[in-house]
Structure 1
Amino acid sequence: MDGDVRINPFLSGNFAPVRSEDDLVLPVTGALPPGLRGTLYRNGPNPQFDPRDANYHWFVGDGMLHAFTVGDGQVRYRNRWVRTNKWTLEHEAGRALFGSWGNPMTTDPSVLGVISEGVANTNIITHGGHLLALEEAHAPFEMSGPDLETVGQYDLGGKVTAHPKTCPFTGELVFFAYADDAMPLSNKISWGLADKDGRLLKRETFEAPYCAMIHDCIVTEHHIVIPVLPLSGSLPRAMSGKPAFAWEPALGGHLAVIRRDQGVSSLRWIEVPACYVFHVMNAFEQGETIVADVMRYDTAPLFPNPDGTKGENAAAYLTRWTIDLAAGAVAEAPLDDTAGEFPRFDERFAGMPYRYGWLVGQSLKPGDFRSNIVVHLDLATGARKTWTVPKGDAISEAVFTPAGPDAAEGEGWLTAVIYRAVEDVSEFVVFDAQAVDKGPIAGAKLPRRVPFGFHGQWVRG
């Protein structure tokens, strides 16, 4: 297995795991804004042990949370693994036990009957006073913050994917999930609502045209839209040694449109050109139209073809989907020509018309998904500002936090983590959100790396 680990791109460079849990006070350069007080939480894969599979994928590593707490001119850092049952069983055994994607063919026989609670490695959100670590196909894990102790699984009636959204109109948590009562890699999907305090209100299940990897959803005042796009899942394919998930554009693209007040009884399917979307920036309604700004790929990146051959090196571009509910049709229009990912906006305007957005861009060779540009977009005027990291460095998703509850839209800061390649360390950085072209206004460098991860959340106070 050691040979496989050395050649697997998801286990080398800054994808490689760190194996320590630390508590540090970091030296600060520049001037931390006095109004910036709180914690940037980041989540990402960090396998506790060398994986059992030669074809290990970045998406399946154990979740590790990183907390950068800012206040009184200091930055404190703490990191902890999420103590799922997978992590605990493997910690006690001193080795990996579970196969990637739960594949029974590469799972240790001693845990074949154990139901995995997942890896909680993708996102971190707050809702109703609860700090929740999430991934694609299991229940969330509640964490205590900022000390990052694992409280345990959080009950929303079962599985929840990585991008539930809090509705600014009702305070409800709107989510979707792979159905609990289905076989692995089934075409059944659930959606649901929890109230402003996190108590489950509704959970319903329906069938999609096929099994797809679905990472994010579109939420507006009255609707949830779940994109079923042709990154397909197949249990027979996985059992035969081929990819569990693969790109199959012939399956076409489909949007499940549901009115939140009516549920599955209102479900309708609207076709969209075959493409892939990991992330949605924001969405809102205009009469009988839903406007959704998404990061659109022509083909799904990071995944192979059904026969296991390498897929195309695609990039994502910010694209506006205009979903005409009356006509049952979708129009697509590009909003920016920067290849990028991890879109963010001022979430006080979630589900509403908005003006400003941010993403991290990629100007490296095709297929290199390390982000090296911070992009600020004015969607009203088309103006943009950018800043590029030094050569060889890479930047995480840049998370927006407003300067205050009454600040104008987009007035505040971005917080992110930059991998400094020459030193092989990572640095917490702060930008003025309206002047990203000026570069970071403050930073705090770690003595080691924070491995590339996925999503972050700023929590005040």
Structure 2
Amino acid sequence: MSQPFPEHAFLRGNFAPVHFESEALDLPVEGEIPRGITGTLYRNGANPQFAPRDRYHWFAGDGMLHAFAIADGRVDYRNRWVRTPKFELEREAGRSMFGIFGNPMTSDPTVVGKDTGLANTNVVTHAGRVFALEEGHPPFEVDPTTLGPKGYESFGGKVFGRFTAHPKTDPETGEMLAFAYSVGGFFTNKLAYYVLDKHGAMIRAEQFEAPYSSMVHDFIATRNHVIFPVMPLTGNLQRAMAGKPAFAWEPEKGTHIGILRRDQPLAAMRWFKGPAAYVFHPMNAWEEGDRIVADVMQYDAAPLFPNPDGTPGDERKAVAKLVRWTFDLAGNTDTFRQEPLDDLLAEFPRFDERFAGLPYRHGYYAFYDPESRKFTGSFTGLAHLDVKTGARKQWHCPAGDAVSEPVFVPRATDAPEGDGWILAVLFRGATQTSDLCVFEAQAIERGPIGRAMLSTRVPYGFHGNFRPT
């Protein structure tokens, strides 16, 4: 018999898992869902099916996909767990079998060495296929309509066991760029760099060494370069085996940023250095002659992870703001410039991804209560920033509600940058339900122009993307 879930900040409220899969056709709509939106919004997040064996972490729950299929002003909804080998083994056992992040010290002895994949962080489309992603395992393919499992994809055995949750698609070539960290074993300092062509074939898969073992959650790409941020949220096997945190904040190691021209060998990688900071998610980056400019959500200290001795980190530093990095590739220096772009405490930056790796103007992100000075994973509003003028527009959730990552959908394939809509999932605190909300991207401050209303809730999660029909 499965056990009740323990009391934990990331297992209560709208962080708590939903214990069922469901479908709802033709959701009630308030306002109008524009008929120009035709496709499916996929969202992924942690939704543990059983109570954890040891202390829970938000990033360690089983993946659950939420799909909102939109056509003719109507919305259908479906949610499904991602049925990884780990999920199926625990479903058969009727209880949790693996320690958090697959920790062998706290796993059932019968599953040590077996697959621990969660596929809980992102969901992307490439070459007509849909993949649920996390950063410790290969992509897990699902059916675009039913969300049923198709299994891991190693691209002809070329994936080195791991794959990022945040690949980048080049809008000009159709190539997908990706990477992985801790390649070849627990907490190694090896990273992988992958390139898939527009048809989904792996055409580059190589490994290189970083200055130290780090949780490299995301990376950055421009038209001609890829950028790997190695920041001091470190992984350490000996520390984990001693019962201390596997991942911990070690600011004395500083920040190291590797930059590589996409047409060059790995030996041409150039490393830049900076003070300790952490970035889960960049917004976008582009080139200006011999300079690379990147806009990122930067923390002074990584949130949600402790110091090496297990003591809590400094919550006052563990908040993110939008910061611009500038690298001078022609200069005789290994440092880079950092300058703030916005003062909102925010995360989950997104933009019109037809301009990925290119100069852009419009950015969107979710922000959280500035009074708390603490990252909680739930967001109290959405912002639109004109990065050329600095003008910012904001929409605040109704009291007690919280909003997800914003996803941009263009009005047409050839529409000007920023001409389209923002899709976001809104949790309604008073009713314990969720709505799919549609905003005019250039008038986000006016609030939703349409809401498709569920009679259940979508737990707080991570990332998603829109797949046009």
TM-score for the superposition, normalised by structure 2: 0.95
- 1:172 deviation in Å? 1.1
**Corresponding position of 2:439:** 431
**Corresponding position of 1:29:** 30
**1:319-346 superposed Cα distances (whole Å, 9 cap, x missing partner):** 1100112233210111111110000111
The AA in structure 2 aligned to 1:344 is R
1:177 counterpart = 2:185: no
Match of 1:315 among 319, 331, 334: 319
The AA in structure 2 aligned to 1:173 is M
Task: For 1:23 and 1:350, locate their aligned partners in 2 and report how far apart those are by CA, in whole Å.
Answer: 34
Task: For 1:269 and 1:125, locate their aligned partners in 2 and report how far apart those are by CA, in whole Å.
Answer: 29
**1:172-191 superposed Cα distances (whole Å, 9 cap, x missing partner):** 111110254x2211111111
Task: For 2:45 and 2:265, locate their aligned partners in 1 and report how far apart those are by CA, in whole Å.
Answer: 33
- 1:200 deviation in Å? 0.6
Task: For 1:73 and 1:258, locate their aligned partners in 2 and report how far apart those are by CA, in whole Å.
Answer: 44
**1:137-189 superposed Cα distances (whole Å, 9 cap, x missing partner):** 11001111132111111224222111110112322111110254x22111111
SS at 1:434 equivalent:
helix
User: What aligned pairs does 1:48-447 form with structure 2 within 5 A after superposition?
Assistant: 48-53=49-54, 55-116=55-116, 118-156=117-155, 157-158=158-159, 159-180=162-183, 182-313=184-315, 314-327=318-331, 328-363=334-369, 364-367=371-374, 368-447=376-455
Kept in 1: contact 2:181–2:215 (CA 8 A): no
The AA in structure 1 aligned to 2:125 is T
- 1:283 deviation in Å? 0.4
SS at 1:6 equivalent:
coil
Kept in 1: contact 2:232–2:251 (CA 8 A): yes
TM-score for the superposition, normalised by structure 1: 0.97
Kept in 1: contact 2:30–2:452 (CA 8 A): yes
Task: For 2:197 and 2:466, locate their aligned partners in 1 and report how far apart those are by CA, in whole Å.
Answer: 22
**1:358-414 superposed Cα distances (whole Å, 9 cap, x missing partner):** 001112512233211110111111111111001121100010000001111101000
- 1:36 deviation in Å? 1.1
Once structures 1 and 2 are overlaid, which stretch shifts more, 82-91 or 164-173?
A: 164-173
The AA in structure 2 aligned to 1:315 is V
- Percent identity between the two aligned chains: 54
Kept in 1: contact 2:141–2:153 (CA 8 A): yes
Task: For 1:88 and 1:5, locate their aligned partners in 2 and report how far apart those are by CA, in whole Å.
Answer: 19
- 1:101 deviation in Å? 1.4
Kept in 2: contact 1:103–1:239 (CA 8 A): no
Structure 1 stretches of 4+ with a deviation exceeding 3 A read 1-6
Task: For 1:162 and 1:306, locate their aligned partners in 2 and report how far apart those are by CA, in whole Å.
Answer: 25
Task: For 1:6 and 1:142, locate their aligned partners in 2 and report how far apart those are by CA, in whole Å.
Answer: 31
The AA in structure 2 aligned to 1:142 is E
The AA in structure 1 aligned to 2:78 is R
Task: For 1:131 and 1:190, locate their aligned partners in 2 and report how far apart those are by CA, in whole Å.
Answer: 22
SS at 2:105 equivalent:
helix
Task: For 1:218 and 1:113, locate their aligned partners in 2 and report how far apart those are by CA, in whole Å.
Answer: 32
Once structures 1 and 2 are overlaid, which stretch shifts more, 39-48 or 328-337?
A: 328-337
Task: For 1:113 and 1:34, locate their aligned partners in 2 and report how far apart those are by CA, in whole Å.
Answer: 49
**1:269-321 superposed Cα distances (whole Å, 9 cap, x missing partner):** 11022100000111001111110000000000111111111112221111110
SS at 1:106 equivalent:
coil
The AA in structure 1 aligned to 2:342 is D
SS at 1:147 equivalent:
coil
Task: For 1:57 and 1:127, locate their aligned partners in 2 and report how far apart those are by CA, in whole Å.
Answer: 30
- Structure 1 gaps of 5+ residues are none
- 1:3 deviation in Å? 9.7
Task: For 1:37 and 1:171, locate their aligned partners in 2 and report how far apart those are by CA, in whole Å.
Answer: 21
SS at 1:307 equivalent:
coil
Once structures 1 and 2 are overlaid, which stretch shifts more, 141-150 or 450-459?
A: 141-150
**1:58-93 superposed Cα distances (whole Å, 9 cap, x missing partner):** 101111000011112321100011111000111111
SS at 2:56 equivalent:
coil
Kept in 2: contact 1:285–1:291 (CA 8 A): yes
Task: For 2:179 and 2:427, locate their aligned partners in 1 and report how far apart those are by CA, in whole Å.
Answer: 33
The AA in structure 2 aligned to 1:372 is T
SS at 1:104 equivalent:
coil
SS at 1:97 equivalent:
coil
- Structure 2 gaps of 5+ residues are none
RMSD after superposition: 1.5
How many equivalent pairs are there?
458
**1:97-151 superposed Cα distances (whole Å, 9 cap, x missing partner):** 11111111110011113233x1110011111111111001110011111321111
- 1:2 deviation in Å? 9.7
Kept in 2: contact 1:402–1:413 (CA 8 A): yes
